Amino acid sequence: MRLFAASSPHIRHGDDIKVTMGDTILPLLFLLIVAIYYTGLRALTLTAVSVLSCIIFEYLYRRILGKKRSIGDMSAVVTGMIIAFCMPVTAPIWFPIIGAFFAIVVVKQLFGGLGNNIFNPAAAAICLLTVTWPGTMSTFPQATAKFSPFATPVEFETGVPVLTALKNGTLPDNRPFEMLVGYTPGNFGTSAILVIIIAGLVLLYRRIISWKIPLAYLGTVAVLALLFPRCPSGRLDSVVFELTSGSLAFVAVFMATDPVTSPVTTLGRLLYGFFLGLITVFIRYFGIYPEGAFFALLIMNPFVLALDRLGWKLKSKGGRIAYEQE
């Protein structure tokens, strides 16, 4: 049996990368509409700044170095939207610019561009912003607070995110239904769980993502939450709150399934999701940051090739594996 491995991204349907990215942008736009409904036009401003910054940095980098233009593949747009969605709506306008530069230039282009980067660019950018400005990245306004599109909020009523309440050993203020519709303090683009679920189903139908990573990821978190509950009201409530809080669902659908930085074999994907869940829960329970999803993603990214090699080895059962360079 001969298995062929080509460089990422690995797309298992007839559409090219531009169409794939377009299919990803559409559900992200629905999440943006929900965010604008709750927080006002500032969500749109942060998203626009992030997307434009990613496009400009990618264009300038490749233009200066004389490389072929790549902004037409729309991957910079997706990265920009994800970076913006994973920060509080009260973040300064220059936050997504810093994140875009780090994601596009340092994490993506310096490694050779799309298909060659080891780390997920958006996750790396969010982790950089989180460890550099932890106060800003962990302070969230009330879910219904609306803000000016351009003026950075200085004084506003803060809310208590579910993950913060769980970390403090207290019962969260939000009910599960509120969390499903995004009526909870958190990153402005990752809180509407119901929209994320629908988006995941659409992406599965379009074969943009595989079910294996999200299911293994969320399933691992659910089992660990059931075995080691943090919610005072019981094990089942702990499972519900852990799954619907923070950016877990968003990361599972839009980031962990990134075709460039995720495995392609069935075993690799299942193990990848399992370890993502394990690390996420470990950081949530014992780390200084309430959310561990982004850090878990960066920790697991370098192990993708090893997981795929294990999957190929077991699948080939002694057969030769041929490697092809595009």
Task: Read off the pLDDT of residues 212-251 as tens digits, 9 standing for 90 and up.
Answer: 999 999 999 999 999 999 999 899 999 999 999 999 999 9
pLDDT value for 84: 97
Alpha-carbon span 237 to 156, nearest angstrom: 30
Domain CATH for 149: 1.10.3430
pLDDT value for 322: 40
Which DSSP state fits 193? H
Within 13 Å, how many C-alpha atoms sit on residue 93's CB side? Answer: 13
pLDDT value for 16: 65
At residue 3, φ and ψ (nearest 5 deg) are -115, 135
Could you tell me which residues come within 8 angstroms of residue 251 by beta carbon, excluding any fewer than 6 positions away?
123, 190, 293, 294, 297
Could you tell me which residues come within 8 angstroms of residue 33 by beta carbon, excluding any fewer than 6 positions away?
none
pLDDT value for 250: 97
- Stretches where the chain sits below pLDDT 50 are 1-7, 10-14, 318-326
Q: Are 240 and 226 in contact (CB under 8 A)?
A: no
pLDDT value for 317: 60
Number of domains in the chain: 1
Q: Which domain holds residue 35?
A: 3-323
Alpha-carbon span 233 to 246, nearest angstrom: 19
pLDDT value for 177: 84
pLDDT value for 5: 44
Q: Are 120 and 302 in contact (CB under 8 A)?
A: no
pLDDT value for 291: 95
